[in-house]
With several copies, the nearest count.
Chain A
């Protein structure tokens, strides 16, 4: 789950505003040897980011695919002989378009920076955005009928339509995870092996089942059937059956 690639750590993906932002940062980075940022790592880092976000932004994900595909086309072109490249006319075009779009995006970033600096330099500009507290006396009031009631009806219909669109229900399948079976599974593994790590105990289970198994471990600890130790954050969780480790109990009593 945590980004495994060293690149992801180094890039600190969190503040990136999208795939263009990420790629532009990579492309424009002089200091670093570009060989150290292979596209494979970019993909892994991006996947980790999606994983962490917990949801996939389809538009941005498809942009990312286009972007990576273009990079791969570029690479293929460089690996092939010129004659073979002739047969890939689209690659040239795609690379040019990507470069043009990245250059355009660099200008957007520069404009955004200018706006940000402007805001910081001018400070908050506070002004009144509605009528003042007291109205002046109004000797004349032009009340000629200029409005069309049908416009009001149309406007409300539009509001209703949009409200309905936005409330479009999303259907999700509820998944049943057999908690008791996982409890038995963990209990059995720990008892038969005497001791093992959590990762070993849940090998072969999917993510939902692993989460449920973790709950099962907590329950077994609570019931006094299992003892568990983790020496550092994200380190392996070592579990043993409570009866198998008399010294563990002593240590627990001393603590």
Chain B
């Protein structure tokens, strides 16, 4: 691997607007994958935080350049991104469903969340975090949605969806169906008691 090879790999990473894996880099550069790996090693130093305004990172199962964190504010100003509103809870939940269960259709998302998913799906489409992925073969053939490479970059998922934590790792205090069931029954018991003594709200109704 020569210095020129390194520069060619650097140029490819600059040109592409999506993460590239070692194979794609090797094919385009006309190099072996081992050479590409060596070039990446050199470039990781050259494009480390604090060394360059452009940082090389492992993301979405590939390699990509992005603006350094210290330049985030200036870049946001340039791209006029300051006005972007944070994701709503509905959008985050919908994104979680698509990321873990995708490709999924709108009706399936609605079933899982218990509420219509039209607005959050639209907002996620507009932000480029999810995209259409064909049609379901269920009745009505609803459109299916999956997460995008952009999603993996925004959330900094090194190996794409594989970098999402497994559901079991998300929290020890997640209730099991059995627990929820017994709590529901406890609620229903209380409800049965409260029917004999209606509260003021029930009275006024």
Q: Place the interface of chain B in its size category.
A: 35 or more
Tell me if B196 and A163 are in contact (CB < 8 A): no
Nearest chain B residue, comparing its CB with the CB of A67: B114
Q: A140-B80, A169-B194 are in contact. List 5 more A-B contacts (CB 8 A).
A: A118-B155, A138-B76, A145-B156, A157-B169, A170-B194
Tell me if B75 and A136 are in contact (CB < 8 A): yes
Tell me if A63 and B114 are in contact (CB < 8 A): yes
Tell me if B15 and A28 are in contact (CB < 8 A): no
Nearest CB in chain B: distance from A65 CB, A: 11
Q: In the bound complex, what is the Cα–Cα distance between A59 and B118 (angstroms)?
A: 11
- A residues with a Cβ closer than 8 A to B are 4-7, 15, 17-21, 24, 26-28, 33-35, 37-41, 44, 57-60, 63, 67, 71, 74-75, 77-79, 95-96, 98-116, 118-119, 122-153, 155-160, 162-164, 166-176
Can you report 12 A-B residue pairs in the complex whose CB atoms are below 8 A from each other?
A21-B114, A40-B198, A112-B92, A119-B154, A126-B75, A131-B17, A132-B14, A133-B65, A141-B76, A147-B156, A148-B155, A174-B195
Contacts of B95 in A (CB 8 A): 112, 115, 152, 155
Q: In this assembly, does B11 line the interface, its C-beta being within 8 Å of a C-beta of chain A?
A: yes
- B residues with a Cβ closer than 8 A to A are 11, 14-20, 57, 59, 64-67, 69, 71-73, 75-77, 79-81, 83-84, 87, 89-90, 92-93, 95-97, 99-100, 110, 112-116, 118-119, 122, 125-126, 128, 150-151, 153-157, 163-167, 169-171, 174-181, 183-199, 201-205
Tell me if B93 and A139 are in contact (CB < 8 A): no
| Residue from A5, A132, A174 with most neighbouring chain B CB atoms (10 Å) | A132
Tell me if B198 and A27 are in contact (CB < 8 A): no
Nearest CB in chain B: distance from A147 CB, A: 4
Interchain CB contact (< 8 A) of A27 among B69, B72, B167, B184: B184
